[in-house]
Structure 1
Amino acid sequence: MYMDTILLLVSLMAVVIQGSPYRRVCYFTNWSRWRQGIGKFTVYDVEPFLCTHIVYAFGTFDSSGKVKPLNQGPDEKDWAALSKMKQINKNLKLLLALGGWNFGSVRFSNMAANPTVRSKFIYNAVDFLRKYDFDGLDIDWEYPTARGGVAADKANLVTLCKELIDAFNDDATKRGKDRLLLTAAVPANPKTAERGYDVMALSKYFDFINLMTYDFHGGWDGKTGFNSPLYAAPHDPNPTFNMDAAAKWWHGAGCPKDKIIVGFATYGRSFTLRDPSESGVGAPASTGPAGPYTRGQGFWAYYEICQSIEKGGQVIFDDDQKVPYYLKDTLWIGYDNEHSFTVKANWLKENGYSGVMFWALDLDDFSNACTTSTRTYPLIKTVIDILDGAMPVRTISTQVEPTDTTAADTQQDETLTVTDY
């Protein structure tokens, strides 16, 4: 049923953009399958031409360097379905992300430092990626030298990447196939990046980097602030905590613009105001409530925000930082909408960066849950409209296969807890 539906979808997509000069990197989170109601997201909600690269988050590896699925049965079913999707979109690339915030830094640090374990990890990763028809590996080490890491992590990461590329080249030659891709999710905070990343050296090995330009502000600040501002506010005490400054830092540190993929967040950060009469940017506040479906304290998917907006409240656009916030009583949410994504996409084009990364597919309005959404994935498609031309309106729905919703949510959203900012 799924493949029949996809073939029908393809036949309707006469305006699909082919050969885009921009990479559209979309993260797929394997814990979103356990959400309830309209929050439930499965591989069958993915549209095959939406992304040029889908990064599956997350796989794992043990202390011996063996790569494994995080949830073996369900994850393997996802990978098989995504592999079939590549038969529809011949240009689609599928990557496996290893790590993430909850995975931590220590296991990466120990693996990269030990030549024996590092070698096992590399060759095991090659076999694993080929077995499941992945096109590459995304390293999500959060972060080298931090969170229990050591100073040697900075050099060891370069060694790891060099040896991975050597192994990927050997594998491609032996198999007569395209080389596996090597990418990374990297921090936007220049201090974190400078401590842990030899940018000039790594840029020789990474095919591109996914810049995590979000979580700049949240309830941990004790005051309201934007999750992913484009620019700094006037007199901002942290003038590098924005997309423009972060991207410029990585380029200035040695990463070519044609390898910089800038992160766009399809979620927002919530706050609870201490005093409703003081409700602007920087107002005293604590971490806000959880979104009704995502259920992470201070974390709301776009579809949760737009549904709340439909029930009342104000949306205020900040002309300095080029992002909106939503205000209703004591609830304050800094987020992104179609207008701010339009501004950001034009900024990306004007500054010559090579693509956009979305965290994450399951957080956009993927099912038209909001009456204000004229199509599925309105945020992502707004960016595509600007980078590549108008996307078609989806006119049919895919058939979703039953999924066990009784299993525990084994992985919380990776953006729930941030201490490096």
Structure 2
Amino acid sequence: MKVLLVASLLVACFVLSQGSTYRRVCYYTNWAQWRQGIGKYKVSDVDPHLCTHIIYAFAYFRDTDGEIYPIGGQDDIDSYAALVALKQQNPDLKILLALGGWNFGSLKFSNMVADDVIRGQFVKSAVTFLRQHKFDGLDLDWEYPGSRGGRPADKANLVILCQELISAFKADATATGKHRLLLTAAVPAGRGTAMAGYDVKPISESLDFINLMVYDLHGGWDGKTGHNSALLPSSADTGDDVYLNMNETAAWWNKSGAPKDKIVVGMATYGHTFTLHDPSNSGVGAPAGTGPGGKYTGQSGFWSYYEVCQDIETGGGAVEFDDESKVPYFVKNSLWVSYDNKRSMRLKADWLKAEGYSGFMIWALDLDDFNKVCSSSAKRYPLINAIIDQLGEVPATTPGGETMTTSGETTSEQTTEQTTEQTTEQTTKQTTEQTTEQSTQGTTDGGGEAFTCSGKDNGYYPHPSDCSKFYQCVEGRTFESSCPSGLHWDVKVNACNWPELAGCSV
């Protein structure tokens, strides 16, 4: 019996007899428990059904002997156990341990991978530590190979490290009869940093998936306002800044050798603050320095989403939406905040679905409105749920053996924010592989028939003379796409399907 291969995808990238879904990868930070008031976040605040993977950030290791250790000692160990216990409520949940992070830096990684003996000790320590604390895998958060004190040889040595880790994980699974430990990595958005430190194709062969850190793209360090996590470029971008956005970053990693079914795109539940030099000049690219820290998060130039939405709701400011980059910003006197809201998250979900990437990654759980303190939050974790609702997933099992389930919420949240949310708006970025944007006057096939989206509702439409093609209409604009080889467009489910199930007869 043949089953539906792809549902609810613009481009059917996952061709699996078992079905398809999206990875929902969420970072849990071990320092959020020390915040005060509504900012305090503990394992008891975690929804075990919200994410498919939770990554505990962070643990460290010694570069003298490769031994991994918890930063917070027994407090971290207790938190490990509490997170793993969530699997009693959701047996499909995967808990991973992130190693490194920004504060850990690059030098110790560089030292460890350069020494064959210490690297071997590190690999053994990884297996022992993960099994001891019942983790499901390891997330390498090396920031960054070849940079910040690293060496040019880091690029090749990272490949060796990944190969040795995955080999050890496979051997451990064979020896113990347990599920193989997962191996993932968090990687940068900056093209120069990525080119210097990552041999993308060979590391992709060892990694189960790759988390793209497509945030912190702009901040007060730029001396001007800019978006923290733009979907698309802005006309204010110059030089290499035109590549600092979600679409360009994901495309570069894919073209460099990371398959789309391993690319997980990072999304931020926080914003960056700026102080405008001149409040009368408040657009994107306006002269500005680093802004204030949040009341609860306390980091200069950094606000959680719940801090942003609270400040918006006090009044006195204005929310603008950048139609070029598809993200909002908030201006209040000299305060300028780049952040994401439910509208931008839905647009990013639409883009992710259209491009065929394997899922999204959240930094971080404790920065969304997990306590529902803002009146605009109709449910806990409004940003994360906006993505999940927009993707409209179904349960499935991936080829690597990971079972991933949904939160059980399939209807889109339609609440009103401070700005007017246009929930039917779709991204209009021209895709670079299978989708070709046509003019609003219509497209013409070989037989001379013209198709136009003018006057049509947003949505999908069959090609009039080719069963393997279809159109997407977005605000009157026409996008022509092709199904993967051998599949036809199925109007019954708005997805590519086996020809005998699609029933196309043009």
Structure 2 length normalisation: TM-score?
Answer: 0.73
Higher RCO (CA-CA < 8 Å; seq separation 6+)? 1
What is the deviation of 1:235?
A: 5.8
Partner Cα separation in structure 2 for residue 19 and residue 383 of structure 1: 20
Q: Which amino acid aligns with 2:243?
A: T
Q: Does 1:278 align with 2:257?
A: no
What is the deviation of 1:391?
A: 5.3
State whether residues 228 and 335 of structure 1, in contact with CA within 8 Å, keep that contact through their aligned partners in structure 2. yes
State whether residues 236 and 285 of structure 2, in contact with CA within 8 Å, keep that contact through their aligned partners in structure 1. no
2:248 is aligned to 245
Contiguous gaps of at least 5 residues in structure 2:
1-17, 394-405, 410-506
What is the deviation of 1:388?
A: 2.9
Q: Secondary structure of the residue that 1:204 maps to in structure 2? A: helix
Query: Kindly, what percent of the aligned residue pairs are identical?
Result: 60
Q: Secondary structure of the residue that 1:173 maps to in structure 2? A: helix
Q: Secondary structure of the residue that 1:291 maps to in structure 2? A: coil
1:8-407 maps to which residues of 2 (within 5 A)? Answer: 21-63=21-63, 64-234=65-235, 236-237=237-238, 238-312=241-315, 313-388=317-392
Partner Cα separation in structure 2 for residue 283 and residue 58 of structure 1: 35
Partner Cα separation in structure 2 for residue 181 and residue 140 of structure 1: 14
Q: Secondary structure of the residue that 1:203 maps to in structure 2? A: helix
State whether residues 110 and 154 of structure 2, in contact with CA within 8 Å, keep that contact through their aligned partners in structure 1. yes
* C-alpha distance 95-19 of structure 1, shift in aligned 2 (>3 A): farther
What is the deviation of 1:20?
A: 6.2
Partner Cα separation in structure 2 for residue 178 and residue 388 of structure 1: 28
Q: Which amino acid aligns with 1:39?
A: G
State whether residues 97 and 138 of structure 1, in contact with CA within 8 Å, keep that contact through their aligned partners in structure 2. yes
Q: Secondary structure of the residue that 1:290 maps to in structure 2? A: coil
Q: Structure 1 or 2: larger helix share?
A: 1
Deviation sequence 1:172-201 (CA, Å, 0-9, x none)? 001001110000000011111011000011
Partner Cα separation in structure 1 for residue 146 and residue 262 of structure 2: 23
State whether residues 385 and 391 of structure 1, in contact with CA within 8 Å, keep that contact through their aligned partners in structure 2. no
Partner Cα separation in structure 2 for residue 293 and residue 41 of structure 1: 11
1:414 is aligned to none
State whether residues 49 and 407 of structure 2, in contact with CA within 8 Å, keep that contact through their aligned partners in structure 1. no
Partner Cα separation in structure 2 for residue 323 and residue 91 of structure 1: 33
Q: Which amino acid aligns with 1:270?
A: T
1:411 is aligned to none
State whether residues 345 and 386 of structure 1, in contact with CA within 8 Å, keep that contact through their aligned partners in structure 2. yes
Partner Cα separation in structure 1 for residue 189 and residue 291 of structure 2: 23
Q: Which moved more, 1:334-343 or 1:19-28?
A: 19-28
What is the deviation of 1:351?
A: 0.3
Q: Secondary structure of the residue that 1:320 maps to in structure 2? A: coil
What is the deviation of 1:74?
A: 1.4
Partner Cα separation in structure 1 for residue 267 and residue 332 of structure 2: 24
Partner Cα separation in structure 1 for residue 286 and residue 91 of structure 2: 49
Partner Cα separation in structure 2 for residue 133 and residue 290 of structure 1: 36
Q: Secondary structure of the residue that 2:205 maps to in structure 1? A: coil
Partner Cα separation in structure 2 for residue 82 and residue 281 of structure 1: 40
Q: Which amino acid aligns with 1:355?
A: G
Bigger-Rg structure (1/2) = 2
Q: Secondary structure of the residue that 2:242 maps to in structure 1? A: coil
Partner Cα separation in structure 2 for residue 302 and residue 190 of structure 1: 27
Partner Cα separation in structure 2 for residue 138 and residue 196 of structure 1: 17
Q: Which moved more, 1:338-347 or 1:84-93?
A: 84-93
Q: Which amino acid aligns with 2:22?
A: Y
Q: Secondary structure of the residue that 2:289 maps to in structure 1? A: strand
State whether residues 57 and 99 of structure 2, in contact with CA within 8 Å, keep that contact through their aligned partners in structure 1. yes
Give the count of matched residue pairs: 376
Q: Which amino acid aligns with 2:156?
A: A
What is the deviation of 1:234?
A: 2.2
Partner Cα separation in structure 1 for residue 390 and residue 278 of structure 2: 39
What is the deviation of 1:84?
A: 1.1
Deviation sequence 1:348-399 (CA, Å, 0-9, x none)? 0000000000000000000111121111000000001012359568xxxxxx
Partner Cα separation in structure 2 for residue 236 and residue 368 of structure 1: 35
What is the deviation of 1:19?
A: 8.0
Partner Cα separation in structure 2 for residue 62 and residue 183 of structure 1: 20
State whether residues 20 and 388 of structure 1, in contact with CA within 8 Å, keep that contact through their aligned partners in structure 2. no
Compute the RMSD of aligned alpha carbons. Answer: 1.3
State whether residues 303 and 363 of structure 1, in contact with CA within 8 Å, keep that contact through their aligned partners in structure 2. yes
Partner Cα separation in structure 2 for residue 45 and residue 20 of structure 1: 29
